Amino acid sequence: MNNTTKTVLITGASSGLGRATAEHFHAQGWNVVATMRSPERASGLTASDRVLLTRLDVQDADSIRSAVDAGLERFGRIDVLVNNAGYGAYGPLEATSPEEIRRQFDVNVFGLLATTQALLPHFRANRSGVVVNVSSIGGRMAFPLGSLYHGAKFAVEGLSEALRYELAEIGVAVKVVEPGGMKTDFGGRSLAFTNDEELTEYQPLVQKVLGVLGPLVESGSAPELVAEVVHTAATDGTAQLRYEAGPDAVQLLGLRRASDDASFFTAIETQFSLQR
C-alpha cells in the first residue's frame, strides 16, 4: 500500500451520489471506505484492494465506530469524510407519524453528526481532515410539503457553517455540497412521501408537489457530475464552505439570493401553480 495515497470514507455508498463519489475518488487514485447499510447487497462498485466495503448505518452508533475502525485498520488513515447518506421525507405534517419525523432527522442530521464525531479524534490527532456534508438546494430554500426534508437540510447547513469555524481550530475543513435534482433513487425508493387522503384540504397541494418533485429528480444532473463537485470540495484546499452542484442548483440558488422573501415565495407559488 502506498502511504501517500489518501483515503475517503463515504456514507450511503450503495447507490446514487454515494456510489458515484466512491467510484470517482477511486478513479482519482484514492483509497475508498465505501460504507452502506447492507454491504452484502452492494452492486456496481469496482472491486479493488483500494476499496473497502463495510457496514455503516448512520442510525446505529456501534456500526459507525466499527466502520471507522475498519477503515483505519485497512488504510492507516482517513483524510476525508463524505456525509452523503440521506433520504427525503415529504408530505403534510398532519399526516406524518412521530416515528417518521424522528427517522428523517435521525438519518439526515443526527447520523451525520454522529459520523462526524466518530472521525474527529482521528482528524484532530492528524491536525488535518475534510468533512464534506451533502446538503441540497433544499438546504437553502424550501418546497411545499417538505417541512421535514428542508428542516433537516437547513439544519445540515447551519451546523456545517458553525463547525466550519470550530474545526478550523484543529486544522479540519468543512464543506457543503448543494445538488439540485439528481437522477438517483432519491425520487423513488428513497422518497418517503406520507399522505392521508382523508385530509382532503391538502390533496390538491399533494398532487401539485408530486407533479413537480418527480420531474425535478428525473431531469436532474447525473450523480457522476455531482461526485466531481464533492471531489473538488474535498481537495481544493480553500476555505470555501458551499458548492452548488448542477445547472439547476446554480440557477435556483442564484434566484434565491437575488430575491427578497416575498418575491421568492411568489416564484415558488407560481412554479407549483398555487393560487394565493
Q: Which residues bind ligand NAP (CB under 6 A)?
A: 11-12, 14-18, 36-38, 57-59, 84-87, 107, 111, 134, 136, 179, 181-182, 184-186, 190, 217, 220, 223
- Nearer Cβ to ligand NAP (92/179): 179
Minimum distance, C-beta of residue 262 to ligand NAP, in the bound complex (Å): 26
- Which residue has its beta carbon closest to ligand NAP? 16
Distances (CA, A) of 225 to 17, 27, 222: 9, 14, 6
Minimum distance, C-beta of residue 246 to ligand NAP, in the bound complex (Å): 8
- Nearer Cβ to ligand NAP (90/186): 186
- Nearer Cβ to ligand NAP (203/271): 271
What residue type is 67 in one-letter code? A
Minimum distance, C-beta of residue 205 to ligand NAP, in the bound complex (Å): 20
Catalytic amino acids? 135, 149, 153
Length of the chain counted residue by residue: 276
- Nearer Cβ to ligand NAP (103/124): 103
Q: Which are the contacts of 223, defined by CB distance < 8 A and separation ≥ 6?
A: 16, 17, 19, 20, 21, 182, 183, 184
Minimum distance, C-beta of residue 125 to ligand NAP, in the bound complex (Å): 26
Q: Is 36 helix (H, G, I), strand (E, B) or coil?
A: strand
Q: Where are the extended beta strands (E) located within the chain?
A: 7-10, 31-36, 51-55, 80-83, 88-90, 129-134, 172-179, 191-193, 242-245
